[in-house]
Amino acid sequence: MKWPILILSLLVLLSIVACSTTPIPTPVGLTPVHPIVTAEVVETPAIEPSPIPRPTATQPSVFGEPDLRCGDGICGGPENPQNCPADCSSASSPAVLYLGIMVHLEGWSDQFNQVKFERHAQLMREYASLFETYGAKLTWESKELTDGVLAWGDNILLEMEQRGHGVGVHADIGGQQSEACAPNTARLRAEKQQLESLGVTVRHVSGIVSHCDWVVSAADAGYLFTTGTVAYAVMSLPLEDRPLEYRDCPSPAACHDTFPPDLEDRLHPWRASSGADWLTHDPDGRLVILPSSGGLSCMAEEALDQVCGEFTAEDIDAFLQEFDRAVALSQPGQVNTYYVAWSLGGVLDPTLLETWLQAISPYVASGQVEWKTLPEMYDAYVSWEQNY
């Protein structure tokens, strides 16, 4: 019985030796890790994990082409201080002021008189061509001109959008405190849909401030931002929150002053959730407030608290004084906006208007100022919100 046990033990011993001397094959595609041998110790190098990829402004875009904007000196699009500090740090990105002009298309009874409508459209084309000569952009806000396009067939509003200008609604509702508030949303929605029927993109509205909750009405009607707020807008605030001088405004015409009154409070958009607290930014608010400065043809009179008159060289001087302040107050890393109003309405002297455009050109050439439509200002603000 001893011999079988002895033979079995020898076979086990031989199998152990064979296993210890046979190398383990390396899987295909992997390089074996060899220990580093030194005079003192034997070490196996640690394999560090690869860093987690972080989005940067130079990674491929969703369209498969590389986004090479990082380093162009402009903080925009997907760039932010984390993924593109070269463009988005305050030290490397000087402040830029976005400049625009809001033109109310009103007072011509376009839908009832074809001759007047055609003259109105002709003036729009002439002014647009003048602005385009200087790389400037208009934002047209239509009231009865929309009816005129539908009546007479010349789609001047779609043409303006295709030429790079902005288009929106000038609703001009809510001015009578005796009017009921409930119909406002439906009226605003109808104005939006009518303008959209011309093929125009409609995202904003002006002429809506009232004692009603104009913020909720506009948002419910599908608008994303509003322009041209004047002092009458405080009538939707609780009585105790209204500035004393505007506490009992009888109408927008009686309280048509620029509001907020301080320039530094009008240089950055904000979000509002209701008319009861529209001066307080709410990051969840559905309507963006794009605050307006004064009327271009009234700049001199507004500075002296006088009644608005004709467009003059004094208005240009008064504009430039406030404009210089707006440029100086602009902040790096912020969306800085400044625009004035004009009602067409009245015709502005094209020679004076060109003088005004020429005075702005050096600011644009220096990079301190960029012309924008009001919808482009809104887009810049939304992009800024996403990055900051």
pLDDT in tens, 240-272: 999 999 999 999 999 999 999 999 999 999 999
pLDDT class for 287, splitting at 50, 70, 90?
very high
Give the long-range contacts of residues 271-274, CB within 8 A, separation 24 or more: 272/215, 273/215, 274/213, 274/215, 274/216
In this prediction, residues 357-386 reach a mean pLDDT of: 98
122-166 tens-digit pLDDT:
999 999 999 999 999 999 999 999 999 999 999 999 999 999 999
The answer to whether position 30 is within a domain reads: no
- Count of structural domains within the chain: 1
Contact 235, 241 (CB under 8 A): no
Position 34 in a domain: no
What residue type is 260 in one-letter code?
Answer: P
Would residue 3 count as lying in a domain? Answer: no
Residue 84 maps to a domain: no
- Residue 100: what are its φ and ψ, rounded to 5°? -150, 175
Taking the model in full, what pTM does it have? Answer: 0.78
Residue 196 domain flag: yes
Q: What is the CATH number of the domain that holds 335?
A: 3.20.110.20
> What percent of the chain is modeled with pLDDT above 70?
77
Q: Is residue 309 in a domain? A: yes
In a domain, residue 64? The reply is no
Residue 144 lies in a domain: yes
More confident residue, 307 or 28: 307
Parent domain of 146 = 95-376
- Three-class secondary structure of residue 6 per DSSP: helix
- Asked whether the beta carbons of 343 and 106 are under 8 A apart, the reply is yes
